[in-house]
Structure 1
């Protein structure tokens, strides 16, 4: 896999059609150089990631609560594969339960984002996450900086 693209490669995996639409609209309005690939299920996401010609994206926004294969199952599978060790994973969920936050933290997610209900907050959140220097941020990863609240 290669990350030499000039555009930021972004993946979103979310089973909720409205959430996918709002996220896509927010990305468009940010006017950043990016390519967004969207998946409805964890199965589709894992098929895409495991395809030999797939380029490693810069970041994956991953919903937790999905049918068939949950975001947590995808997270565990991704972190078990060494070719994805540098993939930044942002959990992107309506849940703010301590159990979900703890489980995703201990299983290797980089950040946990509670989905904002407000479109402008969503844009601000996405913009902030896409502008994090992940190489530096991951080195100092701790539970206090894991949950993003805007």
Structure 2
């Protein structure tokens, strides 16, 4: 069985628990083993990625975190030679066009609006796990991940 490592930073405990529960539910029936690394802030996320550097990594970044925003962490990831190719999904409650455009311009692979429905979240995570990230190219036409998931 192949595997994927998901690194997720969010300051909201409920969002972290919701995401963790979805990954746990998927683990029983997923085609890939999903290793989840959750963090309450981006600093710990960056350390974790560097420490667990492997193939098949993907990062979920919440936009609105204290101290540094998801945008700032995205810039740091893209400016770090060892991390710049890791796929990043900006994961936010906001569907603001400016946030979506800025995420794309800063080098995110996708922008996903946080689903409120547990089944939709499971479907989104499952679809992320199935992407061949080695051959994936960010495309603005399909940048809003929720359009792909539905």
- Alignment map for 1:42-81 (pairs within 5 Å): 42-50=42-50, 53-56=51-54, 58-81=57-80
Measured against aligned partners, the alpha-carbon deviations of 1:93-145 in whole angstroms (never above 9, x if no partner) come to 1011011101110001101110001111110111111111223331xx22111
Q: How far apart in 2 are the matches of 1:59 and 1:67?
A: 22
The answer for the alignment partner of 2:145 in structure 1 is 148
Q: How far apart in 1 are the matches of 2:47 and 2:53?
A: 13
Q: How far apart in 2 are the matches of 1:91 and 1:13?
A: 10
Flag structure 2 segments of 5+ consecutive residues without an equivalent: none
The answer for the alignment partner of 1:115 in structure 2 is 114
Normalising by the residue count of structure 1, what TM-score does the alignment of the two structures yield? Answer: 0.87
The answer for the alignment partner of 1:23 in structure 2 is 19
Report how far residue 81 of structure 1 moved: 1.1
Aligned-pair Cα RMSD in Å: 1.7
Number of aligned residues: 142
Is the CA contact (8 Å cut-off) linking 2:61 and 2:88 kept in structure 1? Answer: yes
Q: How far apart in 2 are the matches of 1:26 and 1:121?
A: 10
Flag structure 1 segments of 5+ consecutive residues without an equivalent: 1-5
Is the CA contact (8 Å cut-off) linking 2:111 and 2:143 kept in structure 1? Answer: yes
Q: How far apart in 1 are the matches of 2:127 and 2:46?
A: 26
Normalising by the residue count of structure 2, what TM-score does the alignment of the two structures yield? Answer: 0.87
